[in-house]
Structure 1
Amino acid sequence: MIRAALLALWLPTAVLAEGEEIVSGLSQNRVAITANFDGSEILIYGAVKREAPAPAGAPLEVVITVEGPSTPLVIRRKERRAGIWVNTSAITVDAAPSFYAVATTGPVEKILSGTDDLRYKITLPHAIRAVGSASEAEGSEEFITALERIRSTDESYRLLENQVQLVEETLFRTDVVLPANLTEGDYKVRMFITRGGRVIDHMERVIGVRKAGLERTLYVMAHEQPFLYGLISLALAAVAGWAASAGFRLLRR
């Protein structure tokens, strides 16, 4: 017990002993989803604060992640049997990010150790939490890989290696494009600096993504007053049907 306590006290001291800390900012910390919203580009920038010259040895590297709200889901495998596609097996994913981007100054395997990757859950396989029975756990990697492939195709998941600009091991910046089909919620931005694969310091910021205007009103009404929302929808459908009918009658004259 004493040894574990001493180790816990030593670890923060070891990190601070590096003398390098992140000072960062975002071009915007709020994104409004409106009727004509077609995506947004976020500028993530920062600097490395030092009390002394940069240490010699392994170069400084930067890793930045942008993570959207996570939701549970079920991943199913389909197979063709007797000419029909049927579900044959499935696993339950406890939490999968709706959006996830990893931007780095270099190849991930060269600038980030597996230990710190697992500890901070930086790369996508560690960010997806698959929790289920023992039978589900067996072979779950194949399902997770399939999920990554599908969401990478529609650019919900992105690996942006060599996309972080680092100047003189002090100033860094990158641009991350958020797609048009954003899920409403808080998007977590994490910044890490590493040397020799080990995380020296990290910082977290949040981007709030919310519906705005008429979209927000309809969204709130649909969830908080579904009966009223249904009545208004029926009324609008009736008016639209009447208007279309009247228009056709005028055209036929």
Structure 2
Amino acid sequence: MPRFLTGLLTLLLLCTGPLWAEEVVLGLSKDKVSITTSFDGSDILIFGAVKREQAIPDGPPIEVIVTVAGPSTPLTVRRKAKRLGIWVNTDAVEVDRAPSFYAVQTSGPLREVLKDVEDLRHKISVPRAIRSVGAPSNISDAESFTEALIRIRSRSDLYQLREDAVTVSEQTLFRTAVRLPAALTEGDYVTRIFLTRDGQVISSYDTTIDVQKVGLERWLFELSRGQPLLYGIMSIAIAIAAGWAASAVFRMFRA
């Protein structure tokens, strides 16, 4: 075969892409969450389908991973130790970036549906979503600080790993519900869906959920940022009024 025909055939094969292309088609029960004074959390239903140009291929079944990440901020993780009978801060590690909320939900055990190299590439698991570099040279166990952060936020339901929480039907339809706790930071919550086969990511899709304070919650938040002195005076006045009202009620019942 002439050399130019061989090169042309190779180029066509590269441009054609995978024969069994599979893509995500996604839906959300709501793409906006409003935080009010009575907000106690919210459930987001995430559902979708796998779009194919061909029939379902033979081989390992398709798996689905869903992640929802709140705004990321830097923070300091400190370690306490007892010195002369008093608990004091001894070591500290600066975490460059940690999501305020992070949920991972999968259609099977995470170790089985996602290879480690793919996790490293896409930053899917909870530890990989946290960026911590440049720990002080006197700290040899910097990883334990990240583990402590994950443990603390997991107790508050701010970091979640829920395996077998995504239902996949007929290798085409999938759905899951992500629980957003009451203690949310407002901002864009990046939602990612990954399709995997044999541990390899074959398709992904990104969207966002808008989380914002509204009503009295929004007014108080803006007041505390824009006019902190007025906010402090108002907080003291409310505390005094509440204390006076409580004592008045107590005296009335004693009378």
Taking only the aligned residue pairs, the percentage that are identical comes to 55
Contact 2:69/2:101 (CA < 8 Å) preserved in 1?
yes
**Misfit runs of 4+, over 3 Å:** 12-18, 230-253
AA aligned opposite 2:187: G
TM-score (ref. length: structure 2): 0.86
Query: Distance in 2 between the 1:135 and 1:15 partners?
Result: 47
Q: 1:226 to 1:128 in 2, by over 3 A?
A: same
* CA deviation after TM superposition for structure 1 residue 50, in Å: 0.3
On the 8 A contact 1:22/1:48 being kept in 2, the answer is yes
2:179 aligns with one of 177, 180, 184? 177
> Following the alignment from structure 1 to structure 2, what is the Cα–Cα distance between the partners of residues 238 and 213?
24
Query: Residues 82 and 59 of structure 1: is their aligned pair in 2 closer, same or farther, counting only changes over 3 Å?
Result: same
| Alignment match, 1:60 | 62
Q: How has the CA–CA distance of structure 1 residues 191 and 83 changed in structure 2, closer, same or farther, with 3 Å as cutoff?
A: same
Q: Which runs of 5+ in 1 are unaligned?
A: 1-8
1:130 aligns to what SS in structure 2?
coil
Partner of 2:208: 206
Counterpart for residue 88 of structure 1: 90
What stretches of structure 2 of length at least 5 have no aligned partner?
1-10
- The answer as to whether partners of 1:92 and 1:136 remain within 8 angstroms in 2 is no
Q: 3-state DSSP class of the match of 1:163?
A: coil
SS of the residue aligned with 2:137? helix
> In the TM superposition, what whole-angstrom CA distance separates every residue of 1:149-196 from its partner, at most 9, and x where no partner exists?
121122111111011000011000001111111111111110000111
* SS of aligned partner of 1:144: helix
Task: Work out whether residues 135 and 142 of structure 2, in 8 Å CA contact, stay in contact via their aligned partners in 1.
Answer: no
- SS of the residue corresponding to residue 221 of structure 1 reads helix
2:217 partner amino acid? E
Compared with structure 1, are the counterparts of its residues 246 and 161 closer, same or farther at alpha carbon in structure 2 (3 Å cutoff)? closer
1:200-220, CA deviations, whole angstroms, 9 ceiling, x for partnerless residues? 110111111111111101111
Equivalent runs, 1:6-155 vs 2, <5 Å: 17-133=19-135, 135=137, 138-155=140-157
Q: CA RMSD in A?
A: 2.6
